[in-house]
Structure 1
Amino acid sequence: MARAGDVLEHPVTGERVVWLRVARDTDGRLLEGDIFARPGGHPAATHVHPHQEERFRVVQGTVRFEVDGGKRVLGAGETTTVPPGRAHTWANVGDDEACVRVEIEPALRTEMFFETFFGLAKDGRTNSKGLPNLLSMAVILREYDAEMQLARPPPPSSEPSSLPSRCSAGRWDTEGGTRSTRPRRCRDLGDRSARAASQANRNATRSPRS
């Protein structure tokens, strides 16, 4: 379970998240954190929060925000709000590390999504853009479809599914800086990934009907 003060790092995208208030601190009303990004750092993909409003305040640095294709460059002290259902992303376009204060309302299970997504990146299970392979990404997005959707499909990847390697006795591996959340969650994701892979293999080898 995430706690205020926890730190998550994504080595590919250059993001570092420090949680200030998590869901259990606010009775699920709000998730708040500081996101630090090195020059050029940005989220792995343009995305959508179907049911959540996301508010940004630039604490330091120069950050370009893109919402539904429109672009704005903000500096320290400036803010922007992304309503639910709007495709968005951002990037540090300055020469120094940027810090953005982020509030996501309601919290839902967003912190658990970040733990999963950043954990795979920390284990080296993503491509050069910071995204897992298609099968793993499909499983994650199905699990967290209320919190996160991609604005466009990710590019193909030849990497094998990596979700089962995150498990140990049915729990998330904590060595990569992530915390154990719900004990059955990792097992469920791994089983689902394995079933999908097995079905794909059967479809590929099935003889066509005459």
Structure 2
Amino acid sequence: MDRPTEEVLVHPDGTTITFLGRGTDKKGEFLIVEHLVLKRGAMNGPHWHPILTESFTVKEGKVRFIVDGEEQLLGPGQHIKVLPKQVHQFWNESKDRLIAIHEIRPPGNHWNMFSLIHKLTKQNKLNSKGIPWNPLWLGMAWECIDGYIVGPPIFLQRGVFGGLARLARAIGFQI
């Protein structure tokens, strides 16, 4: 599938994720989205991806990244690349809003993750930190990050979260 069925995901708080493109070039497969974020604060927890490379370019506002323990504050026109296996986390530090272009190579399940979080947000099924209340949805969300959260051992994440995702799909949960 080259294009998602929903190309703009608008959350109740105004956060918007816009599909800009997906394809293959000389560097391989990619997905490009634009994030518009109005809420200040953490946008995710510390995590890492075994094979994904993520690049972020700030168009408006400020975003703080911690990548492998190194902190950077980026403003308009600035760029950061997060390589496979680098632990990273980021925060919207903008006074008004953040707009950033996000490229994911290869795309993995990232669009599914954005779609699932959008769906759960609209259905009020996330806690204040953006984590699904229902463990089955949590498993589905974990599966979509194409990586691992920092803390629990990998085998435990695969067993618990992966098992929850398999059970969720078996009983009919869909992104």
Amino acid in structure 2 at the alignment position of 1:8: L
**Aligned positions, number:** 157
The runs of at least 4 consecutive aligned structure 1 residues that moved more than 6 Å come to none
User: Aligned runs of 1:78-97 on 2, under 5 Å?
Assistant: 78-97=78-97
Q: 1:38 to 1:61 in 2, by over 3 A?
A: same
Separation (CA, whole Å) in 1 of partners of 2:125 and 2:98: 26
The offset of 1:44, in angstroms, is 3.5
Structure ranking higher in strand proportion: 2
Residue 70 of structure 1: how far off its partner (Å): 2.1
Report how far residue 134 of structure 1 moved. 6.1
Corresponding residue for residue 130 of structure 2: 130
CA shift digits 1:149-188 (9 cap, x unpaired): 22246xxxxxxxxxxxxxxxxxxxxxxxxxxxxxxx9996
Q: 1:140 to 1:39 in 2, by over 3 A?
A: closer
Q: Which residue of 1 aligns with 2:110?
A: 110
Matches within 5 A, 1:141-180: 141=142, 143-144=143-144, 147-152=146-151
SS at match of 1:119: helix
| Partner residue in 2 for 1:167 | none
Shift of 1:95: 0.8
Change beyond 3 A, Cα 1:118–1:186? farther
Structure 2: give runs of 5+ residues left out of the alignment.
153-164
TM-score by structure 2 length?
Answer: 0.75
Unaligned runs of 5+ in 1: 154-184, 194-210
Which structure: larger Rg? Answer: 1
2: distance between equivalents of 1:10 and 1:46? 23
Identity of matched residues, %: 29
Asked whether the 8 Å contact 1:63–1:75 carries over to 2, the reply is: yes
Give the 3-state SS of the residue equivalent to 1:131 in structure 2.
coil
Instruction: Please tell me the root mean square deviation across aligned C-alpha atoms, in Å.
Output: 3.0
Any idea what SS the aligned residue of 2:127 has? coil
- What is the correspondence of 1:1-210 to structure 2 with a 5 Å cutoff? 2-3=3-4, 6-11=7-12, 15-22=15-22, 25-26=23-24, 29-133=29-133, 135-136=135-136, 137-141=138-142, 143-144=143-144, 147-152=146-151, 189=169, 191=171
